[in-house]
Amino acid sequence: MLEISLLGATGSIGRQTLEVCAWQPQLRVLAMTGGRDWQALAKLAREYQPEMVAIADLQAYAPLREALADLPIRVEAGEDGLKQAACWPGADTVLAAISGMAGLPPLLAAIAAKKNIALANKEALVAGGALVMERAAQAGVKISPVDSEHSALWQCLAGEKTEQIAKLILTASGGAFRDLSLEELQSVTAAQALQHPNWRMGEKITIDCATMVNKGLEVIEAHWLFGVDYERIQVLIHRESIVHSMVAFQDGSIKAQLAQADMRLPIQYALLGQDRPQTSVSPPDLAALSALHFEIPDFLRFPGLAAMIEAGKRGGTAPAYLNGANEILNLAFRRGEIRFPALGQALGDLLAAYREVPADQEAVIYRADQQGREDAARLLSA
């Protein structure tokens, strides 16, 4: 039996995790959390019968409690409620699938409570990098990637030695606008960006895919998860989303992991690893595909990608700062308050004017995130 606390249960990854739990009877969800949508959380709680639920929005506490009054389920709310879910006594593993920096406090709480982590919430690792890895090492807990690229890298690295890695090659679909010219990008809308060609995901990450900021976040995520320096992490556009990432070794070999674009596979691998229990997902039909393409990304059309990688290389609080700014700009684009090319440009400009400091304390990271948000908001209202 593997008992899980599921942070972000009502989201895209959260729901797919519950599907994996329905496939595999050895998985059980003991705690689950949501952001604001108490009705969705109540429905999931009724279906999966966890021991506790927590909702981030304090206003949603009373209606959620009411909705679950007939069930023996403890109900909590607010940041403290999320932390209680993250530390829920019976759970061995916390699947961290809150979107954005909001996931960092419960993630750190889970690590302090010595829970193994299955990590989807990349923003928390981007912002908290060194601190998260250091605390996980101290607590002796594993951080297993849920992100499909990192799951692929992890699978390719099974049985290999880190010092023999020549290069980590992260593949990217290129997002909804991969084939548009700079001029065409001027008039694209959030509604168009939300039509991702290969994956169905939450809104924030789908916009990050269109700007390719997502791949910049993933480069930083790979740096921390696998301890590989930035010079040895490469991004390639791969429009089919069949090769989920690759590792090149010093002897000249490359290992790749291929599968259909279905997040339930990396979720299951993060939870059950090399057991590889059977699923209903068939392997890709390579003959039907006929070709797999790989291209160098265009940093001119997608300056947000370059800015995010640069933030990673600069280190310290730079990634927390730029991630905070991106959360504001991403939302502004969804609301039609900033044009697509201006978003990537803004990330580059903000980073150029920022001076990072060492990110060795939680408070310093939250301050940098806050500053990124404020600077981005100021830029939007200018």
- H or E segment and range at residue 303: helix 303-314
104 near ligand NAD, judged by CB under 6 A: no
Q: Count the residues of the shown chain that bind ligand NAD, applying the rule CB under 6 A.
A: 26
Stretch that binds ligand NAD, among 95-103, 182-190, 226-234, 307-315 (CB under 6 A): 95-103
Where does 130-274 show beta strands of DSSP type E?
A: 143-145, 165-172, 233-237, 243-249, 254-258
Q: Take residue 22 and report the two structure tokens written for it.
A: 């329905």
Instruction: Supply the DSSP symbol for 55.
Output: E
Residue ranges in 102-171 assigned as alpha helix (H): 104-112, 122-139, 148-157
Report the 10 Å Cβ neighbour count for 294. 13
Closer of 9 and 308 to ligand NAD (Cβ): 9
Closest residue to ligand NAD using C-beta atoms: 11
Chain centre to alpha carbon of residue 231: 22
Other CB atoms within a 10 A radius of the CB of residue 272 amount to: 17
Q: Which of 121, 173, 211, 330 binds ligand NAD (CB under 6 A)?
A: 121
In single-letter form, the type of residue at position 278 comes to: Q
Residue 12 sits in the site that holds ligand NAD (CB under 6 A): yes
Residue 208 binds to Mg ion (criterion: CB under 5 A): no
Q: Of 58-66, 139-147, 277-285, 297-305, which part binds Mg ion (CB under 5 A)? A: 139-147
Q: Which is nearer to ligand NAD, 98 or 379 (CB)?
A: 98
CB of 3 to ligand NAD, least distance (A): 20
Q: Which of residues 300-319 bind ligand NAD (CB under 6 A)?
A: none
Instruction: Name residue 170's beta-bridge partners.
Output: 235, 245
∠ Cα 90 91 95 (to 5°): 165
d(CA 367, CA 235): 30
Q: How many residues bind Mg ion (CB under 5 A)?
A: 3
Among 3, 5, 6, 10, binds ligand NAD (CB under 6 A): 10
Q: Which two tokens stand for residue 324?
A: 């905070």
Q: Which of 296, 378, 376 has its CA nearest to residue 344?
A: 376
Stretch that binds ligand NAD, among 92-100, 170-178, 273-281, 353-361 (CB under 6 A): 92-100
Site membership for ligand NAD, residue 20 (CB under 6 A): no
Interaction of residue 228 with ligand NAD, rule CB under 6 A = no
**By CB under 6 A, which span of 182-190, 199-207, 315-323, 350-358 interacts with ligand NAD?**
199-207
8 is a contact residue toward ligand NAD (CB under 6 A): yes
Q: Give the interface with ligand NAD as residue ranges (CB under 6 A).
A: 8-14, 34-35, 56, 82, 97-99, 102, 120-123, 147, 199, 201-202, 204-205, 263
